[in-house]
């Protein structure tokens, strides 16, 4: 799947109801598995992949994870951080997003900690829960105002990406699928696996 096609899938999820036809959900989960598989060379562990140099630096990853946990907090089901949202986003920015989309997203993410230090005295991940909620509410209101302005494009606001990346990552993860009531997930994706003679119909 080409990168722009992949982002179209993300946008479709963010702009529509989370519950979708089962075949569409399976297609999206399969795509997530391809994204995950692309984050490491064959034989490398997932932990080793996370340690590799990434444009989602540790500071950015902390902010991203904390933002995602405000959007999908842990309740009686796991929250966003438990679903590996920041690892998924790291893979997106390192190889799946178009350059303009990646740069806009990272530039916006880089404004979060300075804004929180100025407003609350701490980077976002270290703010009190109420402060985090207020900050995210303000970002969400900005996106809403853009959505209601016929001359604006809310998709150009980095928080629009934060939300769609978080929701896509969460609801295609095992914890997210379990929260929706789905019990079957793709463990691996082997798109180029050769067929044996029986499968090939020989």
Give the pLDDT of residue 75: 85
Residue 5 confidence class, pLDDT cut points 50, 70, 90? very low
Instruction: Tell me 93's DSSP state.
Output: I
Q: What is the pLDDT of residues 116-151, one digit of tens each?
A: 999 999 999 999 999 999 999 999 999 999 999 999
Task: Supply the mean pLDDT for the chain.
Answer: 75
- Mean pLDDT for 29-34 is 55
Residue 9 confidence class, pLDDT cut points 50, 70, 90? very low
Give the pLDDT of residue 170: 86
Residue 187 clears pLDDT 90, i.e. is over it:
no
Give the pLDDT of residue 190: 57
C-alpha distances (whole Å) from 112 to each of 1, 2, 53, 182 are 32, 30, 22, 34
Which tokens go with 17? 């109801």
Which tokens go with 35? 């994204």
Which tokens go with 21? 């036809």
Q: Which residues contact 32 (CB under 8 A, 6 or more apart)?
A: 88, 168, 169, 172, 173
Instruction: Tell me 19's DSSP state.
Output: -
Give the pLDDT of residue 81: 86
Tokens 């405000």, residue located: 70
CA distance 70 to 156: 21
Looking at per-residue pLDDT, the higher value among 182 and 148 belongs to 148
Looking at per-residue pLDDT, the higher value among 181 and 74 belongs to 74
């Amino acid at each position: 799947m080409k990168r722009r096609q992949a982002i179209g899938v993300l946008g479709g999820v963010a702009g529509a109801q989370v519950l979708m036809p089962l075949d569409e959900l399976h297609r999206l989960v399969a795509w997530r598995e391809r994204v995950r598989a692309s984050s490491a060379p064959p034989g490398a562990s997932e932990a080793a992949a996370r340690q590799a140099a990434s444009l989602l630096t540790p500071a950015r990853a902390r902010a991203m994870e904390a933002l995602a946990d405000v959007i999908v907090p842990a309740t009686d089901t796991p929250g966003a951080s438990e679903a590996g949202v920041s690892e998924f986003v790291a893979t997106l920015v390192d190889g799946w997003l178009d350059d303009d989309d990646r740069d806009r997203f990272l530039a916006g993410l880089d404004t979060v900690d300075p804004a929180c230090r100025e407003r609350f005295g701490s980077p976002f991940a270290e703010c009190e829960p109420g402060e985090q909620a207020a900050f995210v509410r303000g970002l969400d209101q900005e996106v809403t105002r853009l959505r209601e302005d016929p001359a604006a494009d809310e998709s150009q606001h980095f928080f629009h990406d934060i939300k769609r990346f978080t929701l896509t990552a969460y609801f295609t993860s095992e914890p997210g699928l379990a929260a929706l009531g789905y019990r079957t997930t793709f463990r691996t994706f082997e798109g180029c696996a050769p067929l044996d003679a029986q499968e090939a119909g020989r």
